């Protein structure tokens, strides 16, 4: 049987791009239909590309027939294949939610074109093997994503979007400055080629520092997270879902590419990696405690994102946790998207996002509450779920490396997650106070409930598909034992460990 040509990679970018153009020209009704259809088409294309990947291994495509250093390379390997699936599935679920919750009216006219453009940019970023093309992808995705926060033009959403925009621009500029330095010293923008040419020394450190700093700001890694909760907390639900599940993840993906694929020859990388991991630990503790203190449902979920992003930094100190980290990225993406959609439905039903309005809601919209609960199971890391598999993998890696501090942190993180999520359940299942019994509850459209439920089921389903998914995920070059001078594996966080 003939395998898919590498040119099929282009369609992952251009199918949504052309759909966005069509949505501009034809209006909201067509845009809405196209968004769902494009997601289905992307899924089919990913099946073919995945088949080729499992037969041939990683492959790439040089655009315009010109290889790097001058040309641009699109590349598919295990990591971005999994992330492309995440993008497609999350987009399919959230687009179905938006089908009903945004609709095809005036809001839809403004919503669908940037929504599709963001999908095209996310795919373009994930496929790109070029530091500069990734930057443009991130810019388009951020610009479209940020403008959608303000879709309803409420004052708090506008303020959150403006703050996000300014900080995102700062992050991008800092990253771009780092890329300019890389180009100045290597004459290449392709990350593998440029990485192999990096000379080491002060100038390489400067470039790495700039790129890392910019991306940390864009990924809202503690203590650079300030912009995230208001932005994710005030956007329309499908938009919050995509921001939390995808947009903050792709800038972390870029960070992984830079740290683990460029094979940077810098001696101090180990301690820098530990600093990054320490920021992750800070995120875990701070984000969870902040989530416990929230009075608004969506802000609670948004602070949960701040906390969960912390796990994704673990790999910088503990290379053995690579598979667990990526598994967490995928599982959190699905679970958090489901949770934002479910929370959106709960808020829609109540007409308010105050936590103290929740009591009695379970009887009115059981499907959404159930979706919220399933997503919570995965986020807390209870078996069987994707979150459990991920945390189990990270825990065994930390155990094997005798990094007891991390073992402790991982367990504490799960407990704190359970604490802030159980707070929501305790309220939801509590009986309604007689004073509030008369207040009307709106029923969300079935599509809004089903899409949340489907994404939550996928997060749970990931608990059963560990082996096939992890088989796809090879170790990056820098994390192979003894591959690079910078990062000996495994590392130890505790001073007493050998």
In the complex, the residues that contact other proteins under the rule CB under 8 A are 7, 10, 14, 17-18, 21, 24-25, 61-66, 68-72, 109-110, 113-114, 117, 120-121, 124, 132-133, 136-137, 139-140, 143-144, 146-148, 150-151, 153, 158, 177, 181, 183-189, 197, 199, 201-203, 205-206
* CA 56 – CA 208 distance, rounded (Å): 32
Query: What minimum distance in Å lies between the beta carbon of 71 and other proteins?
Result: 6
* CA 240 – CA 148 distance, rounded (Å): 9
Contact 131, 255 (CB under 8 A): no
* CA 127 – CA 137 distance, rounded (Å): 10
Query: What minimum distance in Å lies between the beta carbon of 59 and other proteins?
Result: 15
Helix, strand counts (H, E) of the chain: 19, 2
Closest C-alpha to 301, from 141, 218, 423, 215: 423
* CA 395 – CA 323 distance, rounded (Å): 11
In terms of CB distance, is 25 or 408 closer to other proteins? 25
In terms of CB distance, is 64 or 438 closer to other proteins? 64
* CA 302 – CA 298 distance, rounded (Å): 6
Beta strands in 69-186 (DSSP E): 73-76
* CA 131 – CA 61 distance, rounded (Å): 16
Query: What minimum distance in Å lies between the beta carbon of 61 and other proteins?
Result: 8
Query: What minimum distance in Å lies between the beta carbon of 482 and other proteins?
Result: 25
Query: What minimum distance in Å lies between the beta carbon of 151 and other proteins?
Result: 6
In terms of CB distance, is 143 or 462 closer to other proteins? 143
In terms of CB distance, is 147 or 412 closer to other proteins? 147
Closest C-alpha to 76, from 88, 86, 61, 91: 61
Query: What minimum distance in Å lies between the beta carbon of 207 and other proteins?
Result: 9
In terms of CB distance, is 178 or 490 closer to other proteins? 178
Q: How many residues are present in the chain? A: 498
Query: What minimum distance in Å lies between the beta carbon of 150 and other proteins?
Result: 6
Question: What number of CA atoms fall less than 13 Å from residue 127's CA on the CB side?
Answer: 28
In terms of CB distance, is 17 or 277 closer to other proteins? 17
In terms of CB distance, is 146 or 369 closer to other proteins? 146
Question: What number of CA atoms fall less than 13 Å from residue 315's CA on the CB side?
Answer: 25
């Amino acid at each position: 049987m003939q395998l898919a040509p590498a040119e099929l990679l282009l369609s992952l970018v251009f199918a949504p791009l052309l759909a966005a153009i069509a949505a501009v020209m034809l209006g909201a009704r067509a845009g809405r239909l196209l968004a769902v259809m494009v997601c289905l088409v992307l899924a089919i294309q990913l099946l073919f590309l995945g088949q080729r990947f499992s037969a041939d291994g990683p492959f790439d495509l040089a655009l315009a027939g010109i290889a790097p250093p001058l040309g641009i390379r699109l590349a598919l390997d295990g990591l971005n294949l999994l992330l492309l699936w995440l993008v497609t599935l999350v987009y399919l679920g959230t687009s179905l939610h938006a089908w009903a919750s945004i609709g095809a009216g005036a809001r839809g006219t403004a919503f669908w074109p940037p929504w599709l453009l963001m999908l095209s940019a996310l795919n373009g970023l994930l496929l790109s093997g070029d530091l500069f093309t990734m930057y443009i992808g991130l810019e388009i995705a951020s610009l479209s994503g940020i403008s959608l926060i303000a879709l309803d033009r409420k004052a708090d959403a506008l303020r959150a979007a403006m703050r996000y925009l300014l900080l995102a621009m700062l992050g991008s500029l800092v990253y771009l400055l780092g890329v300019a330095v890389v180009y100045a010293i290597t004459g290449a923008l392709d990350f593998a080629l440029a990485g192999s040419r990096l000379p080491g020394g002060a100038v390489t450190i400067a470039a790495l520092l700039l790129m890392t700093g910019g991306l940390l700001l864009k990924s809202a890694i503690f203590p650079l997270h300030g912009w995230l909760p208001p932005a994710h907390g005030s956007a329309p639900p499908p938009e919050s879902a995509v921001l939390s599940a995808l947009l903050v993840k792709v800038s972390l993906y870029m960070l992984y590419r830079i740290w683990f694929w460029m094979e940077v020859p810098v001696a101090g990388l180990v301690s820098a990696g530990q600093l990054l991991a320490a920021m992750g630990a800070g995120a875990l503790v701070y984000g969870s405690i902040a989530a416990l203190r929230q009075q608004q449902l969506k802000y609670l979920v948004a602070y949960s994102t701040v906390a969960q992003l912390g796990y994704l930094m673990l790999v910088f100190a503990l290379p053995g946790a690579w598979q667990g980290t990526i598994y967490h990225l995928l599982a959190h993406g699905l679970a958090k998207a489901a949770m934002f959609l479910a929370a959106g439905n709960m808020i829609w039903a109540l007409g308010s996002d105050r936590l103290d309005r929740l009591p009695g809601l379970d009887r009115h919209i059981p499907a959404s509450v159930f979706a919220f609960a399933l997503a919570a199971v995965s986020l807390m890391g209870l078996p069987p779920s994707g979150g459990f598999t991920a945390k189990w993998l990270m825990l065994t890696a930390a155990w094997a490396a005798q990094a007891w501090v991390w073992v402790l942190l991982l367990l504490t993180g799960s407990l704190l997650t359970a604490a802030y999520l159980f707070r929501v359940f305790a309220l939801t299942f509590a009986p309604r106070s007689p004073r509030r019994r008369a207040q009307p509850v709106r029923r969300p459209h079935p599509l809004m409930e089903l899409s949340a439920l489907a994404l939550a089921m996928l997060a749970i389903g990931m608990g059963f598909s560990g082996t096939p998914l992890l088989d796809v995920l090879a170790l990056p070059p820098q994390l192979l034992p003894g591959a690079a001078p910078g990062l000996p594996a495994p590392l130890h966080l505790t001073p007493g460990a050998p």
